[in-house]
Structures are given as structure tokens and as C-alpha cells.
Amino acid sequence: MSLVGRTVTVRVPATTANLGPGFDTLGMSLAVYDELQVTAREQPGATVQVIGVGEGEVPTDETNLVVRSIAHTFASVGQELPGLELLARNAIPHGRGMGSSGAAIVSGIMAAKGLLEGVVEFGAEQLLALATELEGHPDNVAPALFGGLTITWMTPEGPRFKKLIVHRGVSPLVAVPRERTMSTALARSLQPQSVPHEDAIFNVSRSALLIAALVQSPELLLAATEDKLHQSYRASAMPETDALIQMLRGEGLAAVVSGAGPSILVLGSDPAQRLRAAELIAEHAESVWECLMLAVDFRGATVVLHSDDAAA
């Protein structure tokens, strides 16, 4: 079956991972979206046009992460890759701890899923496995794929996930520094190979409490977002992020590093809390930060196959 002429449109949300104590385990999708249109063509290779974030910066050929993710997905199911034309409209900030690389990977996998509709069917666990192979960890790609709050874990058979619906009282804010970025690889290199036993126990208790706070009891978010596994070790690489988080937490607000940083996630228990957080950041920040008042995305990634007028 020829795929030439098929066009798909993909929409993928931003994500925030760790959420404080849930290192490499918890993630949540946020209502900021990268949108992608992909058309299969006869001419081999790939051309990419980027509008918005990353324009003039990311590769526009076969080395583009989205194209590599499409190719990886086709190869995983033994399908020949057609030529590709991509138009990417990006809104997720790059290098800020909002899951931009995970979104690019998920965009490619979902585009491949759409192009192969009626040829190959993909299950949820298969999609997660493909995304984890490319990203290295499932905590960002799971919420990008499935939406909501996700718990991920690894098994001998591959990554697994559980999606939960966040309490309607939870009001996220992401404060994004205009100038600073953070490499995930650098952030990971700052962490020790082992941690004290009491710190591990501390984080187990807070992670369990955080699920309860996000799903049922938002008033517990401040205590539930305490962490001793990763944030303090990375603080030296992003001192302003750390100083603002300590200030916000001192004011009773559940502030944590968003993903690998340097952005800050504030989990308000009501809208007034995140307004207060934005005011405090504007008052205390030494550089320019943009405060995004965001909803939790509950749907996750979507793909529409236009030529067959079918949606997934």
C-alpha cells in the first residue's frame, strides 16, 4: 500500500516531570502545544519547516529529532519510510524543563502512527516503549502521549504507565527564564550515584503523598512536593531558580524545579496561589521570567489522518 499523498496533523502537549519528589517517575501534561503536519511524498529524504520556537536553530533535514522518531517507528514495524515533508509549529520552550525533546519524539511517533493507519496498529504500551527507547526515560513521554498525571515504571517487558486525573483545584504555573537554559544531560551529571537511606525513605513518603495531593487533597501540595533526591544537587547549576524556589516555598507555595530546569513549576491549590506566585517572582527575580498560567492537559497527543478523514 502506497502512503504517498497521506497527510497527518499531530498535536502534542508540553510536560513537566519529577514534580518534586517523583524523580524519573511522575509527569504531568500542560496545555502548551507543538503542532506538526507531515505529508508522505515520493522523493526520498525529508524537508522540515519550523515556525515558532526553534526556527532557524533546529535541523531541517533527516537529522531532525521528529524525522528520526518517524524513521525509528517505521523501522520498528518493518515498514519502508517514504519521503517526508514536515511543517512544525512549535510553542514549547526549548531547554527549559517543559519536555520539548519528549514532545518532538512523541510528535514523530504519532505522525508515523497516523501515516500507517490501516497498515499497522499501535497499542499504548508499544507507543510508550518506542518513545522511551528514544528519550531514555518514560516520565516525560508518558504524559505527552496520554495526558493528565502519569506514573511510570520499568518492567522486564518494558515501560508501563498509569494515567490519573488531576484534582480540579490544582492550578499550575510555570515560570520560564527568558535567557537561561539547562541541558538534561548536565543536570543528571550533577547527581550522585547513591543517596543516604533516610533521603530515599523521605522521597518515597513524599511521592506517595504527592499522588494523594494531586488527585484528592491539593491542600497537601506544599508538604508533598518536598524532595531530597535531585533538586539540591542541581541547585549550583541554576542558582536563581533555586533562590526563587526557596523564596516561594518560604511563602507557603508548592514550588519545584520543572523537569531538569531551569523553569519553576508552582502547583497552586487554587488560582489565587499562582497569582501570588507570579507577583512574588516579579518582585524577587534578578532577570526576566515569564509566568505561564496553565491548565493540565487531559487528552495527550492526538493525530488526524486527513486523506482518509480518520482521527485517532
97 is in an annotated binding site: yes
Asked whether the bond before 262 is cis by omega within 30 degrees of 0, the reply is yes
CB atoms closer than 10 angstroms to residue 53: 18
Per the annotation, does 22 bind a ligand?
A: no
Q: Annotated binding residue at 103?
A: yes
Question: Does 100 belong to an annotated binding site?
Answer: yes
The response to whether 101 counts as a known ligand-binding position is yes
Is 20 flagged in the annotation as binding?
A: no
Strands 302-305 and 7-17, bridge-based pairing: antiparallel
Dihedral Cα 24, 29, 30, 34, nearest 10 deg: 100
Enumerate residues 6+ apart whose C-beta is below 8 A from 304.
8, 9, 114, 310, 311, 312
| Distance between CA atoms of residues 97 and 18, nearest Å | 10
Rounded Cα distance between 37 and 8, Å, is 6
* 100 close to 93: Cβ distance less than 8 angstroms: yes
| Residue 49: strand pairing partners | 87
Helices in the chain by DSSP H: which ranges?
65-76, 100-115, 124-135, 138-146, 184-189, 197-215, 221-224, 231-234, 239-250, 271-284
Q: What residue has cell string 516579579?
A: 282
Residue with cell 522518531: 69
Residue 20's φ and ψ, nearest 5 degrees, are 100, -100
Q: Does the annotation place 230 within a ligand binding site?
A: no
Please provide the size of the chain in residues. Answer: 312
- What are the φ and ψ backbone dihedral angles of 289, each rounded to 5 degrees? -125, 140
**Would you say 13 is a known binding-site residue?**
no
Detail the residues annotated as belonging to a binding site: 93-103
Detail the residues annotated as belonging to a binding site for ATP: 93-103
